[in-house]
């Protein structure tokens, strides 16, 4: 395997002195889709915030593209802008659909984004809604706008935090297909947080199980589901885990 | 009519000054957590409810020739009984209002939206600008509320302006003077102009608000 | 995104318009340019800083002089002759004197002799001159519940008001008129208190209006009362002519020791001009056309001399 894109060592995150995440070691490789699974409240979303550099770790180091960051130093804007997240809720701005999609490019000083916006809107099937106000969209449409808004940035890493929870099967299928395509055609690295093990199975190359803020097991998808190394993974995959 | 022009100039400039100062303060208080923030917020809420005439008195004592600022000769310190002194007093009245209402509007924006904004690559300044833009209806209300307060204000401008004919006489102080002289017709006419200006300004702001919030 | 900025710009432009519209209109707020004075100033040298901005003399005075319209009538002549703008701040006598004490004004025109003397004694003023006088009158409702009609003594009239507990509106603002009122109460040996004694804390015009509304008595200067009769008031003059109702105005130059910002030369020029015979004539003529009688009686030493009267003894 190639050099990892991310490498976390002894990373700990605590809020008000209470540790919610403790990762001894975790690597993310370029071009892969890594799924983080586990019951809710085990620190999956916290981990994504660390990977997006939205918050610094309390302890430990995060290596990203060969540079090592601990909680002390500011991550350079240029590095931070290589990563973006699509959250469970779309969080659209109270503007038009196309303004929402163009937002990230505008932040980067790119004013002439009309063609790119039209292009990504077509890819998520919303070319006709470009002029519409974002708040008039349905839940599925809004999440597709959120995805388009991230896609247009061509990030090195796309973080997906339960992107299809609460969506209907049509929208789930559509979003999964777009994600798979982006990964296949652009070799975009993705970290997917999901509590849906079937989604992890459908999309991911590797899967990691988190329990109580710790990584229990990381394995290629096939191994993870068919020959889990840890009894807790086996229980989780069988659906026996009580949570 | 010079009284109308001066009223617009004094309140307009004070509004501009307080907008430029108050909005960043409000946005900062709404977005950033720091030690002593609750204390600053309590201070701000107190300042919002400060009687304008007391602000006028404080500015008066500050600018008086035997006051702390009155002894300093500087182009930046306005003299008592000048339009600039009135602008200063009205700005002092308006800044807490603009900052307070802006802060409330910014606090009303979903904190997770800020996380999303940051995740899309916003710098802290861009984050602040976008949040303000999301809170724009509240920010407009902040500006309108401040304008309403200072344009209708009479006590402070009377004290620090001195109601000098042709120099510091504005609509509100002219109404007081004409009423005292018993010129009720003129007082009412000036009052109607004052109400008319308030109506035009508020209508404009309302139209603007509808435009930006739709 | 574009739209957002558009609106922010719109708000900004609106605010600028508000500010700018006043800005462009500002020149109208300043009296239109008066050509440099061709007439040589009568005595004092011309202001030194004519090259720069027109100097401004800050005159603190009582509301009575401004409300009566006297200053608006006579001041343009001074401004034109000396190329000076006079900023008139009309406040109560108490505040006017305080403005002098604090060095916030250049010259004072007030009517409260005892306080003026104290002001001079404290070294707050460099020069004081008598200017003019008007008189106070006791006005009240035509029904005259206290029966003052025909009385000639102000102290007796006040005693009557207190005895009958008839409503009386007091300025209550430390103004010259209020000082005079307190002096009359003191002369009558009465400490006014009770429901009938209304302390308004307002200017003369407002107090007269209040007295009119409440069918009450009050002490007023003649000028403000006469001006109000043009607007319509039920109040009538009941007592006048008592020497205690005499109301002399003095002009005081604030001591230049209070700071370099005090326009001492201008203040002296203003005083010289105010007490000169031609200005005194202007004062005497003021109001005659409108009310049929003078509102202020000229009384400077120069004027008395020109009329063959003895100068003031002080």
Stretch A216-234: mean pLDDT: 92
pLDDT score for C93: 82
Phi, psi for residue A153 in degrees, rounded to 5: -80, -10
Domain boundaries, chain B: 2-213
Q: Do B8 and C67 count as a contact with CB atoms less than 8 A apart?
A: no
Residue C259 forms contact with B (CB below 8 Å): yes
- Tens of pLDDT, residues A127-168: 999 999 998 999 999 999 999 999 999 999 999 999 998 899
Give the lowest-confidence range in A88-102, C8-22, C52-66: C8-22
Stretch C118-131: mean pLDDT: 94
- Tens of pLDDT, residues A75-121: 999 999 999 999 999 999 999 999 999 999 999 998 888 899 999 99
Q: Do B140 and C11 count as a contact with CB atoms less than 8 A apart?
A: yes
Partners of chain C (3+ Cβ pairs below 8 A): A, B
pLDDT score for C16: 47
Residue C45 forms contact with A (CB below 8 Å): no
CA–CA distance, B134 with B121 (Å, rounded to integer): 17
pLDDT score for A241: 62
Domain boundaries, chain C: 56-134+248-306, 135-245
Mean pLDDT of chain B: 89
**Do the beta carbons of residue A140 and residue A148 sit within 8 Å?**
no
Partners of chain A (3+ Cβ pairs below 8 A): B, C
- Tens of pLDDT, residues C187-203: 999 999 999 999 888 88
Q: State the CB neighbour count (10 A cutoff) for residue C145.
A: 16
* Banded model confidence at residue C10, pLDDT cuts 50, 70, 90: low
The answer on pLDDT for C21 being more than 70 is no
| Domain at C56-134+248-306, CATH homologous superfamily | Periplasmic binding protein-like II (3.40.190.10)
* Banded model confidence at residue A210, pLDDT cuts 50, 70, 90: very high
Q: How far is A189 from chain C (nearest CA, A)?
A: 29
pLDDT score for C189: 94
DSSP string, C51-91: SSSPPEEEEEEEHHHHHTTHHHHHHHHHHHHHT-EEEEEEE
Q: State the pairing for strand pair A59-64/A67-69.
A: antiparallel
pLDDT score for C44: 40
Please write down the HEC assignment for all residues of chain A: CCCCCEEEEEEEEEECCEEEEEEEEEEECCCCEEEEECCCCCCHHHHHHHHCCCCCCCEEEEEECCEEECCCCCCCHHHHCCEEEECCCCCCCCCEHHHHHHHHHHHCCCCCCHHHHHHHHHHCCCHHHCCCEHHHCCHHHHHHHHHHHHHCCCCCEEEEECCCCCCCHHHHHHHHHHHHHHHHHHCCEEEEECCCHHHHHHHCCEEEEEECCEEEEEEEHHHHHHCCCCHHHHHHHHCCCCC
Residue pointed to by tokens 């306005």: B78
Q: For A239, left (φ over 0), alpha (ψ -120 to 50), or beta?
A: left
The answer on pLDDT for C64 being more than 80 is no
Name the C residues in 1-20 with CB < 8 Å from any A CB.
Answer: 1-4
CATH number for the domain formed by residue range(s) B2-213: 1.10.3720.10
Closest C-alpha among C123, C292, A70, C89 to residue B80: C89
Class level of CATH domain A1-74+157-243: alpha beta
Q: Where are the alpha helices (DSSP H) in chain B?
A: 2-31, 37-48, 52-63, 83-107, 111-119, 124-134, 136-151, 155-161, 171-181, 184-213
Q: Which residue out of A74, A75, A83, A94 would a mutagenesis test of the B interface target, given it has the greatest number of B Cβ atoms within 10 Å? A: A94
Give the lowest-confidence range in B17-21, C45-49, C175-179: C45-49
- Name the token pair of A134: 């974002």
* Banded model confidence at residue C41, pLDDT cuts 50, 70, 90: very low
pLDDT score for C52: 55
Stretch C170-185: mean pLDDT: 88
Domain boundaries, chain A: 1-74+157-243, 90-154
In this complex, how many residue pairs, one in chain A and one in chain C, have their CB atoms less than 8 Å apart?
11
pLDDT score for A195: 84
pLDDT score for B16: 95
Stretch A4-26: mean pLDDT: 93
pLDDT score for A85: 96
CA–CA distance, C138 with C240 (Å, rounded to integer): 7
The answer on pLDDT for B74 being more than 70 is yes
Q: State the CB neighbour count (10 A cutoff) for residue C265.
A: 18
- Tens of pLDDT, residues B78-104: 888 999 999 999 999 999 999 999 999
Give the chain C residue nearest A99 (alpha carbons). C1
Residue A131 forms contact with B (CB below 8 Å): no
CA distances to B24, B118, C151, C162 from C146, rounded to whole Å, are: 64, 80, 11, 9
Stretch B57-79: mean pLDDT: 84
Instruction: Tell me, yes or no, if the two domains C56-134+248-306 and C135-245 fold the same way.
Output: yes
**Do the beta carbons of residue A193 and residue A162 sit within 8 Å?**
yes
Residue A194 forms contact with B (CB below 8 Å): no
Percent of chain A topping pLDDT 70: 98
Q: Do B213 and A94 count as a contact with CB atoms less than 8 A apart?
A: yes
pLDDT score for C14: 52
The answer on pLDDT for A170 being more than 70 is yes
Stretch B1-17: mean pLDDT: 92
Question: What pTM does this model have?
Answer: 0.76
Architecture of the CATH domain C135-245: 3-Layer(aba) Sandwich (3.40)
């Amino acid at each position: 395997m190639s050099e990892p894109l991310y490498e976390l060592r002894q990373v700990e995150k605590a809020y008000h002195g209470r540790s919610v995440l403790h990762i001894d070691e975790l690597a993310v490789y370029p071009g892969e889709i890594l799924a983080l699974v586990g019951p809710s409240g085990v620190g999956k979303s916290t981990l994504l915030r660390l990977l997006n550099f939205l918050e610094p770790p309390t302890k430990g180091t995060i290596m990203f593209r060969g540079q090592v960051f601990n909680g002390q130093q500011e991550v350079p804007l240029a590095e931070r802008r290589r990563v973006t997240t699509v959250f469970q809720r779309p969080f659209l701005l109270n503007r038009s659909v196309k303004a929402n999609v163009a937002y990230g490019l505008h932040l980067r000083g790119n004013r002439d984004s009309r063609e790119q916006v039209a292009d990504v809107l077509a890819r998520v099937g919303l070319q006709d809604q470009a002029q519409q106000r974002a708040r008039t969209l349905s839940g599925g449409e809004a999440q597709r706008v959120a995805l388009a808004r991230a896609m247009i940035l061509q990030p090195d890493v796309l973080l997906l935090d339960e992107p299809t929870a609460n969506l209907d099967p049509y929208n789930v299928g559509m979003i999964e297909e777009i994600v798979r395509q982006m990964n296949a055609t652009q070799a975009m690295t993705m970290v997917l947080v999901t509590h849906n093990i079937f989604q992890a199975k459908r999309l991911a190359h590797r899967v990691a199980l988190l329990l109580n803020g710790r990584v229990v097991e990381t394995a290629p998808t096939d191994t993870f589901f068919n020959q889990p190394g840890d009894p807790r993974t086996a229980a989780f995959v069988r659906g026996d885990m009580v949570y | 009519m010079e009284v109308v022009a001066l009223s617009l100039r004094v309140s307009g400039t004070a509004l501009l000054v307080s907008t430029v100062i108050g909005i960043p303060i409000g946005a900062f208080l709404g977005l950033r957590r720091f030690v002593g923030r609750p204390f600053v917020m309590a201070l701000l809420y107190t300042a919002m409810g400060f009687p304008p005439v007391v602000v006028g008195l404080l500015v008066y004592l500050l600018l008086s020739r035997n006051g702390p600022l009155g002894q300093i000769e500087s182009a930046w310190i306005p003299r008592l009984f000048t339009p600039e002194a009135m602008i200063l007093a009205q700005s002092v009245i308006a800044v807490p209002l603009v900052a307070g209402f802006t802060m409330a509007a910014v606090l009303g924006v979903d904190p997770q939206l800020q996380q999303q904004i940051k995740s899309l690559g916003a710098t802290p300044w861009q984050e602040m600008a976008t949040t303000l833009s999301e809170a724009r209806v509240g920010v407009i209300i902040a500006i309108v509320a401040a304008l309403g307060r200072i344009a209708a204000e009479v006590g402070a401008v009377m004290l620090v302006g001195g109601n000098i004919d042709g120099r510091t006489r504005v609509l509100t102080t002219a109404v007081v003077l004409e009423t005292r002289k018993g010129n009720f017709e003129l007082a009412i006419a000036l009052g109607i102009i004052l109400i008319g200006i308030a109506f035009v300004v508020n209508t404009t702001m309302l139209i603007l608000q509808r435009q930006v919030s739709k | 995104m574009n739209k957002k900025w558009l609106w922010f710009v719109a708000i900004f432009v609106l605010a600028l318009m508000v500010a700018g519209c006043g800005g462009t209109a500002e020149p109208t707020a300043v009296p239109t340019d008066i050509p440099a004075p061709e007439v040589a100033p009568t005595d004092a040298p011309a202001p030194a800083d004519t090259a720069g901005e027109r100097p401004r003399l800050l005159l603190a005075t009582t509301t009575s002089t401004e409300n009566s319209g006297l200053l608006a009538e006579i001041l343009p002549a001074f401004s034109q002759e000396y190329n000076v703008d006079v900023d008139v701040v009309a406040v109560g006598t108490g505040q006017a004197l305080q403005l002098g004490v604090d060095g916030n004004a250049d010259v004072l025109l007030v009517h409260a002799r005892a306080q003026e003397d104290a002001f001079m004694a404290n070294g707050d003023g460099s020069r004081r001159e008598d200017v003019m006088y008007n008189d106070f009158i006791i006005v009240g409702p035509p029904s005259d519940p206290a029966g003052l009609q025909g009385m000639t003594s102000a102290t007796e009239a006040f005693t009557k008001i207190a005895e009958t507990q008839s409503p009386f509106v007091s300025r209550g603002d430390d103004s010259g008129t209020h000082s005079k009122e307190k002096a009359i109460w003191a002369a009558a040996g009465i400490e006014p208190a009770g429901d009938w004694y209304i302390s308004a804390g307002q200017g003369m015009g407002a107090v007269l209006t209040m007295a009119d509304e409440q069918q009450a008595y009050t002490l007023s200067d003649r000028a403000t009362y006469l001006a109000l009769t043009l607007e319509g008031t039920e109040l009538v003059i009941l007592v006048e002519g008592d020497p205690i109702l005499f109301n002399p105005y003095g002009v005081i130059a604030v001591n230049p020791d209070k700071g370099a910002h005090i326009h001492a030369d201008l203040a002296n020029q203003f005083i010289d001009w105010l007490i000169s015979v031609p200005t005194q004539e202007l004062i005497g003529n003021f109001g005659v056309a409108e009310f049929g009688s003078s509102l202020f009686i000229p009384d400077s030493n120069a004027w008395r001399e020109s009329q063959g009267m003895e100068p003031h003894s002080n």
